[in-house]
Amino acid sequence: MKLYTYFRSSASYRVRIALAYKGLAHESDYVNLPKGEHREDAFRTVNAQGLVPALEDGGRVFIQSLAIIEYLEERYPKPPLLPPSPADRAYVRAVSGIIACEMHPLNNLRTLRHIRRAFKLDDEGINTWYRHWIAEGFAMLEGYLARERLAGKYCFGGMVSMADCCLVPQMFNAQRYECDLTSYPTVMRIFDECMKLEAFSATEPARQPDAA
Ligand SMILES: N[C@@H](CCC(=O)N[C@@H](CS)C(=O)NCC(=O)O)C(=O)O
């Protein structure tokens, strides 16, 4: 297996966690986003979308982090990252979706570059935008976790799930942009619990070879 990844990419980090949690050996191909390597032809032949992550396995290339994690789950089911019951799986997918579909796209590199150019924003303007969507997203998430009452040590009770693979990288993004996180105690507590696990800590951005 080969993972196309960038150390700061939170979507890549989701997949790094899933691979590590499932104990799946793989090689890494580092795609430098600030240098624009994801837009070059060499990478577009791997992922025509020009985004990381992408995962090669069995002669096929898989894109979109949640689809990749679901693929890994079906192909390599043990240990699981989705609970057994359909209702609980829907909950885990919903938590994952709040992060991957509602929060992440608004603060993605190309989004930030576009609004900086189109609306002539400076760093302060970008930070205000970024922190707004982190605050809104984490407030939604905190509210959903409180309403469903399914969270325990992790997003779904005592079981590590795809939802945790999404929550932790998003928290790294939020910390990088110095967001105020005091209003999200459950999200913060789950983050702290996850970071005690090797699958989350060994795959964190600063510990990746391309972070050097
Ligand atoms: N929905 C996609 C998002 C992929 C994505 O946007 N990746 C980012 C890094 S986290 C990227 O490649 N950004 C490059 C850019 O925005 O130009 C997924 O979950 O894989």
Residues with CB under 6 A from ligand 1: 9-11, 33, 38, 51-53, 64-66, 100, 108-110
- Give the residue-averaged pLDDT of 11-37: 98
Q: CA 171, CA 138: separation in Å to the nearest integer? A: 9
Q: CA 92, CA 159: separation in Å to the nearest integer? A: 11
Is 208 buried (19+), middle (13-18) or exposed (0-12) by CB count in 10 A? buried
- Give the residue-averaged pLDDT of 74-92: 98
Q: What separation in Å is there between the alpha carbon of 42 and the centre of ligand 1? A: 17
- Give the residue-averaged pLDDT of 171-193: 98
pTM as predicted? 0.98
Express each pLDDT in 136-151 by its tens digit. Answer: 999 999 999 999 999 9
The pLDDT of residue 14:
99
Q: Which atom of ligand 1 is nearest to the CA of 101?
A: 1
CA dist 114 → 7, 72, 126 (Å): 22, 33, 11
Mean pLDDT of the chain: 98
Cβ contact 165:69 at 8 Å: yes
Q: What separation in Å is there between the alpha carbon of 149 and the centre of ligand 1? A: 31
Of all protein residues, the one whose alpha carbon is nearest to atom 9 of ligand 1 is: 9
Express each pLDDT in 90-126 by its tens digit. Answer: 999 999 999 999 999 999 999 999 999 999 999 999 9
Do β-strands 60-63 and 27-30 pair in parallel, antiparallel, or remain unpaired?
Answer: unpaired
